[in-house]
Amino acid sequence: MQAGQVEKIKRIVPLSALKCDTEKCDALGTNTKYEIHALFAKHNMLCDSALYLELRTSRFAPRERGVLVIKVGIGYDVHALVEGRPLILGGVKIPYECGLLGHSDADVLIHAIMDSLLGALALGDIGAHFPDHDPRYRGISSLALLEQVMGLIEEQGYRVGNIDSIIVAERPKLAPFISQMRSNLTRAMKMDESCVSVKATTTERLGFEGRGEGIGAQAIVNLEKVGG
Ligand SMILES: [Zn+2]
C-alpha cells in the first residue's frame, strides 16, 4: 500500500460515518480495527496491517468519534537525599532528617506523575516544560506544576482515567502520609480518589534507595480522549 493512498482514503472517507457491524472484523480485535477494516472494505481493498497501523497511529484516527482512544504514559524520577532540605512527597511535608535536592521542591512522586501524563501524549518531559535553570520554578510547589500539566492534558482533549504510582524509599516510613498525598493529588488533578493510587516500598536495603542516598518514584497513567 502506497503512502499516497492513505491520504486518498482520508480525503474520501468521512471516518465518522463508518460503523462496521459485521463479524468479519472480529479477528482484528479492537474498535479501532473495526473502523479501519470497514474503511478498507469500502474501497474494495484487502486489509493491510502496515497501513492499518499507519492510520491508527496518525493524528487523524484519534479524532474519530465513537472510538475509545486510550493513551498510556510512564514516568520515573529520582532525587538525591541531602541534609538541610525539607522532604516533600505528594505535596506532604514529611518530618525527616534529610530532604530531596532539586530546583523546585523536588517532589519526586509528583515529578514522576507529571512525566507519565506528558509521556502519554508525547509532550516531552518536565525538564522541557519547567527547565531547572528557570528562576520561576525555584522552590515552586510541584502541585502547582501538576495543575499546569493538567491544563495541557485538557487542552489536548484528554482526561485522566487512573494513575498508579510507587515511591521507593528505605526510610522514612511513608504509610502514615499516603492518604494525605492522595488527597493532595486528587485535588490538584480534580479526580476521584478511587482513581489515584500511591504506594510505597523499600528495596530491602539494596541500591541507592536502600542506602538512603536518594528516593525514586514511578508512575503510570491512562488518558481517555474526551468525547472519543
Ligand atoms: Zn524530579
Number of separate domains in the chain = 2
CA of 108 to the centre of ligand 1 (A): 5
Taking only the tens place, the pLDDT of each residue in 32-59 is 555 565 666 666 665 555 565 556 555 4
Segment 213-224 mean pLDDT: 97
pLDDT at 33 (0 to 100): 54
- Which residue is associated with the grid cell 541534609? 83
From ligand 1's centre to the CA of 187, what distance in Å? 21
Same domain flag for 113 and 46: no
CA angle centred on 122, ends 121 and 126, rounded to 5°: 100
- Statement to judge: residues 151 and 76 lie in one domain: yes
Least confident of 130-139, 148-157, 170-179: 130-139
Give the model's pLDDT for residue 136.
86
CATH number, residue 217: 3.30.1330.50
**114 shares its domain with 76:** yes
| CA-only gyration radius of the chain, Å | 22
Q: Which pLDDT value is given to residue 44? A: 63
Ligand 1 centroid from CA 142, angstroms? 9
| 98 and 42 assigned to the same domain | no
Q: Give me ligand 1 centre to Cα 158, in Å.
A: 24
**193 close to 182: Cβ distance less than 8 angstroms:** yes
- Is the domain of 179 the same as that of 101? yes
Buried b (16+ CB within 10 A) or exposed e, 1-14: eeeeebeebeeeee
What is the model's pLDDT at position 1? 43
Residues 54 and 82 in one domain: no
Q: What is the mean pLDDT of the chain?
A: 83
Q: How far is the CA of 101 from the centre of ligand 1 (A)?
A: 9
pLDDT confidence of 139, banded at 50, 70, 90? confident
Looking at residue 21, its pLDDT comes to 45
- Residues 57-95 have pLDDT tens digits of 554 454 445 567 899 999 999 999 999 999 999 999 999
Beta strand 158-168 with 196-201: parallel, antiparallel or unpaired?
parallel
> Domain containing 185: what range?
70-225
Please tell me which residue, 68 or 131, carries the higher pLDDT value: 131
Ligand 1 geometric centre to CA of 75 (Å): 10
Based on the domain organization, do 115 and 189 belong to the same domain?
yes
Instruction: Identify whether residues 118 and 215 lie together within a single domain.
Output: yes
Domain co-membership, 166 together with 140 = yes
Instruction: Provide, rounded to the nearest whole percent, the portion of the chain with pLDDT above 90.
Output: 62
Ligand 1 centre from 127 Cα, in Å?
Answer: 8
Cα of 168 to ligand 1 centre, how many Å? 14
Same domain, 10 and 32: yes
Q: Would residue 153 be called left, alpha or beta, if left means φ above 0 and alpha means ψ between -120 and 50 degrees? A: alpha
Kindly state the helix (H) or strand (E) to which residue 51 belongs, with its residue range.
helix 49-57
Last residue of a domain, one of 63, 80, 115: 63
CA of 57 relative to ligand 1 center, distance in Å: 30
* 106 CA distance to ligand 1 middle (Å): 5
pLDDT at residue number 50? 53
CA of 183 from ligand 1 middle (Å) equals 20
Phi, psi of 15, rounded to the nearest 5 degrees: -60, -25
pTM: 0.72
Mean pLDDT lowest among 22-26, 68-72, 130-134, 149-153? 22-26
- Mean pLDDT (whole number) for 94-121: 96
Q: Is 147 in the same domain as 198? A: yes
End position of a domain, from candidates 42, 63, 84: 63
Distance 104 CA to ligand 1 centre (A): 8
Tell me, in angstroms, the distance from the centre of ligand 1 to residue 80's CA.
10
